[in-house]
Structure 1
C-alpha cells in the first residue's frame, strides 16, 4: 500500500500542477489580450460579466452598444473573460472566409454534438471539407427541383387541415401556427431528407419513434444544469453524470438503429439502379443522393465518408431542416400580419398562378414572393448570432478604424489564440448604415434596388447573413428557401392572416433557434397564435 502511494502521489501531484498551470495560462492569456483595450460597456459582475444582460436583451442590447461604442467592441464574459463583437463587414468577411483559423468553440461543438453527433455542422478543418465535398451534390439546384413536389404536397396537406379547423371554429379560426409549422417541416425533412414518413401532420405528438428520440435529446440540450455547463466548459470533467444521461443514451441508440436502417435502404436502392444513373434512383431524398455521391467510382478512398459520418448527417438534416425552416416561415407570417398591405400584394401575385402545385421554376418566377422571403429572412433569421474562436494568433482587418481605451487608432486588431468572437447575423441584416434609416422595417420593395453597401455583406445568399457565408455557409440554403416559398405560396393564396392579440405581446426567445412566445404567457412556452379566415375571391 505504501509503495502504491509513493508511485501514485507524485503522479497525481504532477497532474494537478499541470492542470492548474493550464488554467492559469488560459486566464492570463485572456486577461492580457489586446482585445480588452477595445471600447465597450462596463461589466456589472466579475462572475457573469455582461452575459446576463446579453441573455435577457439579446441582439437589441448588442445593437445599442454598437451605436454607443462603434462597430467593433469588447465586452466581458464569465469570470473576466473577454468577447469580441463586431459588425465591421471587412472583419466578418475575414472571419467567415478563414474557417481553418476561426472555428466553432470546442464547448459549443460539444453541446451540438450531444444532439447530432459528428455531422457537418460540428466537424472542422479537413473533415468538414471532405464531408461538404461529398454532400454538395445532394443540395444542388437540380436536387432541390426534384424535391419541390414534396414541399408543395405537404403544404397542401397543411392547408386542408387548417381549412377544416377554421370551419370547425365557425369561419374564423385561431391557430398556433408554430406547432403546425413544426409538424409540416418535420414531415418534409423526413421525406425529402431520408425517405422517412413521420406523419406529423396527421399524428401530431405521436409522429414516430425517431422524432420522439430526437426531441428527448433536444430537450436535454436546452435544459441548463451546473453539471452540463461544467462538462461543456471543461473536457476533463465530462465523466460527471447528469440525471438525463440514461434518457439521452437510449434516444441516441434509437436514432442510430433507425439511421442504419435508412442507410441500408438507400444503398439497396442505389444497387438496384443502373450504374451512376441518377434518374433511375427510386428515391430522390438527400440521404440517397449523398450515398450515391459517396459511392462514386471517381471519388478517392481518402475522401469518402464512413458509414458513421453518414449516420451523423441524419440528425443533422433533422435538426437544421426542421427547426430552422419552420421557425423562419412562422416569422414570415408574423411579418405579413404586421404589414397587411404587403400580405394583400403578395396574395394578388400568387393568385395569378393557375396551378396549386407550381414547379420550382414557377415559384422562382414570382418576384414579390422572392422579395418577401428575402426580407423575412433578413429581419428574422432563425439564428440571430453564432460563435467563433481563433485557434491561432491572427490579425483581423477593419474597414472602420477603432480607437482603443488608450486613445490609439487601429486599422486592424491582433487576436491571440483562444479569442472568443460573436458573429452577428440579425444585427448586420438590420444595420442602418447598410440598409438605411428604415432598416428595422419589413419592406420587401427594398430588394428592387439593393443598397451598394449591402454588397459587402459576406453572405452566401441574398446580401444577407441569414445563412452565413464562406466555406461554413449553410449547405441547405436552397432547400430552406424553396420550402419557405412553397409554404407561403400555398397558405397566403388560401387564407387571410391577422394578429390573435396585440402584436407587441409577441417576443423572441432563443431556444436552439429564435422562436416566438407571448410575453403575457411566458409560462406557456413558445407559440405563435394567429387569427385566420379563408380567402374569399371576389
Structure 2
C-alpha cells in the first residue's frame, strides 16, 4: 500500500527493456519514465507529491517491486544499520566486475568495506596536502565536455596512481588507449548489459601493468607521492589481517581510476556550466580567488569560504550520481522518520520490504528535500553554506559530507570525497584567474546517460561555453 504513480499497463507495467528498439508503447510508465534520459520532471514529481518513499511499478506490477527512498531514517537503515541486507542489485554487480575483475565468494559489502578500510589512510588530509602541487601541474594546462573528462582522468592518474594518461598539451589529442576506453566504458556497458559478465578479463592488462610499476617503488629507489604508491608501501608492512593480495590491490587501482574519473568529470562540467549561468557568483568567486596567492596549499584552499560554499552547493544540488541501487536480500522492516499515508489510507510508520525488492536510493532527492533544506532547496545558492554547514538545516542525513547524501554514508561511502572537492577547488582557482565564462546561444540540456548526468546539445555530448581571457 505504499503510494506511487499508477501504471497504465497491467501486462508490462514499467519494464525498462535493455534495447530501445524493443521498447513497447505499453512499457513507457513509471520505471521507464524514471530512467528516461530527458525526463527530470518525473523524479521531481515523485519527490514533491508522494512523500519520502514511493512505489514504482515494474513488470506486471506484481512480480517486480521497486521503492524510491529518500527518508532520512530509512536511508540510515539501508546504508548504515542494515547495509548487509541491502546489497547491490545483481545487474550492477556485473558492472562491478568490470572494476574488480574476478568474482569473490564474499558479500559485496564485505569486499568494499575491507578495501576501503585499507585505502583510507592513503586519502588522509596529510597525504592530500602532498598532492596539491600535482593538481596545479594538470589544471594549469587546460567543447569543455572533453576537456573536463581529460582533466579528471589526468588528475587522478598523476595523484592517484603516479601515471600520466594525457600530457594535456595544446593541440594534442588524448592518445592513451586505456584513457580512451575508460571515457566510453559506462555508456557502452549499459548498451551491452547482456555481455557484461564476459568483460572483466579485459580489465587485467592496464591495472596489472601499473601494479608492476608500483612494485618497483617498494625498495625506496623511487619516491612516489601518489595514492597508489602510498597504498602499496603501506600494504607491504600491513598486519596479516589487513594485508591485501595482488588481485585486491589491482581492484584498488581500478577503483581509484573509475571512481574518480567520470564522477569528477560530471561535477566539473556542471561547475563550468553554473559559472557561465551565474555571472554574479562567478564574479564573487573570482574576487575571493584573486585576493589569495596564486599557488595555494591544501589548508589555504580549504580556508576560502565562498569557494567552499560554491563546491558544496554544486555537490548538493547536482550530485554526480543522483540515484544508487540496492536490493533486499531478505524480508525486512524499514522504519521511517515521517509517517506516510498508504494508498489504502493507512498511516504507515514502517514499511514491510519483501526479499527481492529493488531499492532506488534517492541521493539527489534527499539533497533537494524542501522539508530539510527549505523552500529554496532547488535553487543554486552558495551563500547558504557557512563554515561547512548549511544555514537553518536541522534534520540529520546519514551522509558523510556536509549533511548531504552525495558521497553516501556507512561502510560503503566514498572515501575520496575530500580528494574530489580538492580537485574542483584547484581547477576553479586556476581558471578564474585567467578566464571568464558565459553561456552560449545553443541550448545545453543535461541527460541521464549511464550513471552520471552529461551535457548535450542536439543529441550530441557537448558543453559549448563562451570563454574570454581576462585582461591583466
Q: Shared fold (TM-score greater than 0.5)? A: yes
| Separation of aligned partners in 1, 2:341 and 2:383 | 37
Contact 2:306–2:382 (CA<8 Å) still a contact in 1? yes
Matched, 1:372 2:310: yes
Matches of residues 307-386 of structure 1 in structure 2 within 5 Å?
307-355=246-294, 357-386=295-324
Answer with 256-265 or 471-480: which moved more.
256-265
Change (3 A) 1:442 1:125: closer
Change (3 A) 1:380 1:304: same
| Separation of aligned partners in 2, 1:528 and 1:123 | 40
Displacement of 1:219:
5.0
CA deviation map 1:70-117 (0-9, x unaligned): 222211123431211122111111111132121211211112323553
| Separation of aligned partners in 2, 1:182 and 1:517 | 14
| Separation of aligned partners in 2, 1:392 and 1:293 | 38
Displacement of 1:177:
0.9
Displacement of 1:118:
5.6
Contact 1:59–1:384 (CA<8 Å) still a contact in 2? no
Contact 1:434–1:451 (CA<8 Å) still a contact in 2? no
Q: Give the counterpart of 2:402 among 445, 462, 469.
A: 462
| Separation of aligned partners in 2, 1:69 and 1:198 | 46
User: TM-score with structure 2 length normalisation?
Assistant: 0.89
Structure 2 equivalent of residue 212 of structure 1? 180
Matches of residues 66-465 of structure 1 in structure 2 within 5 Å?
66-80=47-61, 81-97=64-80, 98-117=82-101, 124-158=108-142, 176-199=143-166, 201-202=168-169, 205-215=173-183, 217-224=185-192, 228-229=193-194, 252-253=201-202, 255-272=203-220, 282-297=223-238, 299-300=239-240, 302-355=241-294, 357-448=295-386, 450-453=390-393, 455-465=395-405
Displacement of 1:477:
0.7
Structure 2 equivalent of residue 480 of structure 1? 420
Structure 1 equivalent of residue 24 of structure 2? none
Aligned residue for 1:337, secondary structure, equals helix
Change (3 A) 1:210 1:119: farther
| Separation of aligned partners in 1, 2:352 and 2:390 | 33
Displacement of 1:130:
1.7
CA deviation map 1:344-375 (0-9, x unaligned): 000000000122x2111110111000000001
- Over the aligned positions, Cα root-mean-square deviation in angstroms equals 2.4
Aligned residues: 448
| Separation of aligned partners in 1, 2:327 and 2:422 | 32
CA deviation map 1:301-360 (0-9, x unaligned): x432211111122232222111111210110121122211110000000000122x2111
Aligned residue for 1:107, secondary structure, equals helix
Displacement of 1:515:
0.9
Answer with 424-433 or 48-57: which moved more.
48-57
| Separation of aligned partners in 2, 1:367 and 1:181 | 24
- The structure where helix makes up a greater share of residues is 1
Answer with 425-434 or 203-212: which moved more.
203-212
Change (3 A) 1:346 1:99: same
Answer with 433-442 or 210-219: which moved more.
210-219
Structure 2 equivalent of residue 172 of structure 1? none
CA deviation map 1:258-299 (0-9, x unaligned): 3223212222212236xxxxxxx60011211111222224x1
Change (3 A) 1:82 1:124: same
| Separation of aligned partners in 1, 2:184 and 2:319 | 25
* Ranges in structure 2 where 5+ consecutive residues have no aligned partner: 15-29
Aligned residue for 2:333, secondary structure, equals strand
User: TM-score with structure 1 length normalisation?
Assistant: 0.78
Matches of residues 22-37 of structure 1 in structure 2 within 5 Å?
37=1
Change (3 A) 1:528 1:256: same
Change (3 A) 1:334 1:116: farther
Aligned residue for 1:109, secondary structure, equals helix
